[in-house]
Amino acid sequence: MPLVHVLLATYNGERFLRQQWESIAAQQGVRVVLHVGDDGSTDGTAEILRALAAQPSGAIAEVRWLQAAPRRSAARNFMVLLAEAVRSGPDARWFAFCDQDDIWLPGKLQAALAVLAPYEHDARPALYGGRTVAVDEDDREAGLSPLFERPPAFRNAIAQSIMGGNTMVLNRAAALLLTSGPLPEVVSHDWWSYQLVTGVGGFVHYDPRAFVRYRQHGNNAVGSNLGWRARLLRLRRLLRGDFRGWNDLHVKAMADRAAALTADSRAVLEAFDRARRALLPWQRAAWLRRSGVFRQKPGEQLMLWLACLLRRM
């Protein structure tokens, strides 16, 4: 059976951790090496992890510990975990990000590997991701994440992350791409993965099916995009400059990797950066149009143009 290196970043996750662990152990048709990085939990997370790791079961064949978690952010924890998994496993072919509080549905990893199988030994980076089912703290369903119908592309990835890290599976070429050189300072490891893999002309598959129950609670690092409340929160973040701050980090990270990007991606990135920096609104709009950068839904596209005109992009 294929071996998948699952990267589990934890921080004060004692309430839901056991259920997530059990859902990983219940995966079918795969074996799992579970890489655990605890970012300094102050609750019972560490004790639960040690107890669970002492008796690997089901699909979990081995548990490995990150000895020096970064204690900076979830994104940094995941990137350090990925780098260590790549370094310590020269024969490792598959890698998957894993949040501590979700529930994986049976067949999650199998579905991803079925799509990515042609890229197992390929030098082309390949990334799988998809939709999620939002659930509350008691595992009651709130609905599916939005269905995005336009194909994954770098012009979309610059402005939007369409798949959560908790759904992502990568081949070795993608893992090497993401961890080559100094690890970047980014807001989100999943957004960065989508950006870089599309930017170099890699293969990205967006699955309209959902294999993750994405738990919503007060301590989510990133929450669901469902409902008007989430849309209003995004608008508020846009107006106060959060979106621009996030782009500052990610545009810099992409610029630092410009040599790896395709010529078309470099042109798109340059036009998008000019749209962000131009002084006059009409200049910003002209450069954004030239870049071709887009978000998936009409309402989201309007927010992108608003951010551009207000210089909040």
What gap in Å lies between CA 91 and CA 108, rounded to an integer? 22
Phi-psi region of 181 (alpha: psi -120 to 50; beta: other; left: phi over 0): left
Confidence of residue 218 (pLDDT cuts 50, 70, 90): low
In this predicted structure, what is the pLDDT of residue 18? Answer: 96
**What does the pLDDT look like over 109-121, one tens digit per residue?**
999 999 999 999 9
pTM of the predicted model as reported, rounded to 2 decimal places: 0.93
In this predicted structure, what is the pLDDT of residue 237? Answer: 77
Asked whether residue 230 carries a pLDDT value surpassing 80, the answer given is no
Residues recorded for the chain: 313
Sketch out the chain's domains with CATH numbers: 3-215 (3.90.550.10), 227-309 (no CATH)
For the chain, give the percent of residues with pLDDT over 70. Answer: 95
Give the Cβ contact number of residue 136 at 10 Å.
Answer: 11
Tokens 């990007």 belong to which residue? 261
**What does the pLDDT look like over 1-26, one tens digit per residue?**
999 999 999 999 999 999 999 999 99
**What does the pLDDT look like over 19-71, one tens digit per residue?**
999 999 999 999 999 999 999 899 999 999 999 999 889 999 999 999 776 77
**Mean pLDDT rounded to a whole number for the chain:** 93
What gap in Å lies between CA 173 and CA 204, rounded to an integer? 13
β-strands 60-65, 31-38: how paired? parallel
Give the DSSP letter string of 209-248: EEEEEEE--TT-SS----HHHHHHHHHHHHHTTHHHHHHH
In this predicted structure, what is the pLDDT of residue 91? Answer: 95
In this predicted structure, what is the pLDDT of residue 221? Answer: 52
Residues of the chain by 3-state class (helix, strand, coil), percent to 5: 45, 20, 35
- Residue 163: name the closest of 92, 217, 115 by CA: 115
Helix H or strand E segment including 97: strand 94-98
Task: Phi first, then psi: give them for residue 143, nearest 5 degrees.
Answer: 135, 170
What gap in Å lies between CA 210 and CA 108, rounded to an integer? 8
Q: Which amino acid is at 28?
A: Q
Task: State the virtual CA torsion across 157, 99, 75, 92 in degrees, nearest 10.
Answer: -80
